[in-house]
């Protein structure tokens, strides 16, 4: 695999890239999508709005983490402002700021996709073999 | 000051973090309009290094800091820690649309006219005594106007982040500081391509290719 990360300072002039697929977001969803497409021989470009951060910047202080690693500077909340929603914003997305958590989509959410958004092809039954595959690859399956 | 009025029907911008609700965009613009500022604000000396707030906005932020940060015997005072300057530094990290919204919000706190219309108050916030200021803050906290509630949470969050983000408060709250062993200012930055992957601090095993 010869993928390379380009950050803003690497792009000193306009760049034109031809590819088969552009994946928007480098979090857990985007990363898996891109990986599988590359493994099937596609040329893939991933776009990420967040920054590329490494252990150089992980000084474990909120002052640095919240503005740099989280959506809305760590201020994202539910509509009624009562619950903070910490969602990652970086290369790696939520996977950069979370660990030890990997959930299968709860049934009530799958039901909501169907009842409220008319999505009836993405069922628990359809998703299960993909979860099995990913959990095995991530070494989190029993 | 430039007035920002959202076009009719525009949803909250993804980049602006204040949740304005139905009237909020208009109310915010009212607050920001310099021509409504009928009385002078109390002033506070503006230190060097301020990047976003002007003198008047700094004074309002300073007054908010004094009310939001609880006074405890063992805690350093916000004046000692230059908390208001730290709030400005936090704002300097945000996008321009957020900075504009916060500046407008601070003026909304301060301005007599819109607060007379919505809260029956005629004095600028910075000229109220502390009990009255606390009442105004509670009014905003519990307001039916989305803009006020969001504004309260946003400003309080900024002040608290500025105050407790300063390591001189950590011993007062019993926090020993971040755990060692993770941060490495000299860690290699690997961007892939032909460069070999540097060794990590754990064991990395190349995953099997897709069958």
What are the pLDDT tens digits along chain B (211 aa)?
333 344 443 344 444 555 555 455 555 555 544 444 455 566 678 888 999 999 999 999 999 999 999 788 889 999 999 999 999 998 887 778 888 888 988 988 888 555 555 556 668 889 888 998 998 899 889 988 887 888 888 889 889 989 998 989 998 899 998 888 788 898 889 999 888 888 776 655 666 665 5
Residue A76, pLDDT score? 81
Cβ pair A56:B209 closer than 8 A = no
Share of chain A above pLDDT 90, in %: 66
Q: Is A93 left (phi over 0), alpha (psi -120 to 50) or beta?
A: left
Q: What is the pLDDT of residue A123?
A: 96
**Residue A82 or residue B2, greater confidence:** A82
In this predicted structure, what is the pLDDT of residue A96? Answer: 93
User: Rounded to the nearest 5°, which phi and psi values hold at A80?
Assistant: -85, 10
Mean pLDDT, chain A, whole residue set:
90
A70 with A86: CB under 8 angstroms? yes
Cβ atoms of A54 and B189 closer than 8 Å: yes
Report residue B144 as tokens: 């039916």
Closest by Cβ to A58, choosing from B161, B183, B191? B183
Query: What span, in angstroms and rounded, lies between the C-alpha atoms of B28 and A107?
Result: 42
Q: Which residues lie across from B33 on neighbouring strands?
A: none
Greater confidence (A61 vs B210) lies with A61
Q: Are A91 and A26 in contact (CB under 8 A)?
A: yes
The reported pLDDT for the residue numbered B41 is: 65
Cβ proximity of A63 and A70 under 8 Å: no
Query: What pLDDT, on the 0 to 100 scale, is given for residue B151?
Result: 84
- Give the pair of three-digit tokens for residue B156: 């309080």
Helix (H, G, I), strand (E, B) or coil at A115: helix
**Cα–Cα dist A57/B186, whole Å:** 10
CB contact (8 A) between residue A75 and residue B194: no
Partner residue opposite A54 with nearest CB, options B17, B153, B187: B187
Prediction pTM value: 0.72
Buried b / exposed e along A45-61 (16+ C-beta atoms within 10 A) = ebebebebbebebbeee
Interface test with A, best of B12, B17, B168 (most A CBs within 10 A): B17
- How many Å apart are CA B45 and CA A114, to the nearest integer? 59
Contact partners, residue A41, CB within 8 Å, separation at least 6 = none
């Amino acid at each position: 695999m010869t993928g390379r990360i380009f950050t803003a300072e690497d792009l000193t002039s306009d760049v034109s890239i031809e590819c088969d697929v552009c994946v928007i977001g480098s979090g857990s969803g985007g990363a898996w999508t891109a990986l599988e497409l590359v493994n099937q021989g596609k040329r893939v470009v991933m776009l990420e709005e967040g920054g590329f951060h490494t252990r150089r910047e992980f000084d474990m202080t909120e002052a640095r983490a919240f503005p740099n690693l989280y959506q809305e500077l760590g201020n994202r909340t539910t509509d009624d402002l009562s619950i903070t929603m910490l969602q990652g914003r970086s290369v790696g997305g939520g996977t950069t700021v979370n660990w030890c958590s990997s959930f299968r989509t709860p049934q009530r959410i799958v039901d909501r996709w169907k009842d409220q958004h008319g999505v009836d092809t993405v069922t628990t039954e359809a998703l299960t073999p993909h979860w099995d595959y990913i959990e095995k690859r991530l070494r989190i399956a029993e | 000051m430039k007035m920002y009025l959202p076009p009719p029907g525009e949803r909250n911008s993804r980049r602006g973090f204040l949740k304005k609700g139905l009237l909020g965009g208009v109310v915010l613009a009212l607050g920001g309009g310099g021509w409504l500022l009928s009385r002078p604000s109390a002033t506070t000396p503006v230190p060097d290094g301020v990047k976003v707030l002007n003198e008047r906005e700094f004074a309002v932020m300073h007054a908010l800091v004094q009310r939001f940060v609880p006074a405890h015997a063992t805690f350093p005072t916000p004046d000692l820690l230059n908390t208001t300057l730290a709030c400005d530094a936090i704002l300097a990290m945000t996008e321009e649309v957020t900075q504009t919204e916060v500046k407008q919000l601070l003026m909304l706190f301060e301005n007599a006219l819109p607060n007379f219309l919505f809260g029956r108050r005629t004095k600028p916030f910075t000229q109220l005594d502390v009990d009255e200021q606390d009442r105004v803050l509670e009014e905003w906290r519990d307001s039916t106007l989305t803009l006020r509630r969001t504004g309260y949470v946003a400003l309080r969050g900024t002040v608290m982040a500025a105050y407790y983000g300063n390591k001189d408060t950590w011993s007062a709250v019993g926090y020993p500081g971040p755990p060692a062993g993770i941060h490495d200012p000299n860690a290699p930055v690997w961007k892939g391509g032909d460069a070999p992957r540097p060794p990590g601090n754990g064991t990395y095993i190349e995953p099997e290719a897709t069958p």
